[in-house]
Amino acid sequence: MNRVLIPLTLITAFSLTAAAQQPAQSTPAQPVPAQPGKPVGFAGGQLLMGPTDAQRQGPPVSVNFPGGSLEEFVNLLRSNAKPDQPVNITYSKDAAALPLPAVKMESVSLSAVLKSLEYLVSSDAVQMSVSNLTDQHGPEPTAAFVISCRMSARPFDGPQTLKVFSVNDLIAEGKNDPSGRIPAETLLTAIKTALAQVPLRGASTADVKFHADSRLLIVRGATAELDAINQVIAELSDTVRQSAKIQRTAESRKVDAVRAAQHLQLAMKEKEFALARLDRTRKAAEAGQLPVDEVGNAEMQVARIDSEVQIAMAEKENIERGITGPDEASGDLAKRVADLEVIVADLRNMLAAKNAPKPNQKPGAAR
pLDDT at 42: 53
* β-bridge mates for residue 347, sequence order: none
Tell which residue, 145, 235, 234, 228, has the closest CA to residue 194. Answer: 228
Compute CA distances 298 → 267, 271, 285, 338, 350, whole Å. Answer: 16, 11, 11, 21, 13
Estimate to the nearest angstrom the gap between the alpha carbon of 227 and the chain centroid: 18
Residue 234 backbone dihedrals phi, psi, to 5 degrees = -65, -45
Q: How many CB atoms lie within 10 A of CB 206?
A: 19
Q: What is the CATH number assigned to the segment(s) 161-248? A: 3.30.70
Name every residue whose Cβ is closer than 8 Å to that of residue 90 and which is 6 or more positions away in sequence: 144, 145, 146, 147
pLDDT tens per residue across all 367 residues of the chain: 444 444 544 444 444 444 445 444 444 444 444 345 555 555 565 655 556 777 778 888 888 999 888 899 999 998 888 888 888 888 888 788 888 889 999 988 888 888 888 888 766 667 788 888 776 555 556 778 888 877 655 444 346 889 999 998 888 887 777 677 888 999 999 999 888 888 765 567 788 999 989 999 999 988 888 999 999 999 998 888 888 777 777 777 777 888 888 888 888 888 888 888 888 888 888 888 888 888 888 888 888 888 888 888 888 888 777 754 444 444 555 565 566 666 666 666 666 665 565 555 554 444 4
Q: What's 176's DSSP letter? A: T
CA gap 33, 46 in Å, rounded = 8
Q: How many CB atoms lie within 10 A of CB 200?
A: 22
Q: Residue 24: helix, strand or coil by DSSP? A: coil
E strands of 52-135, at which residues? 60-65, 68-69, 88-91, 99-100, 103-109, 126-132
Domain assignments of the chain as residue spans, ordered by start: 53-151, 161-248, 250-354
pLDDT at 134: 73
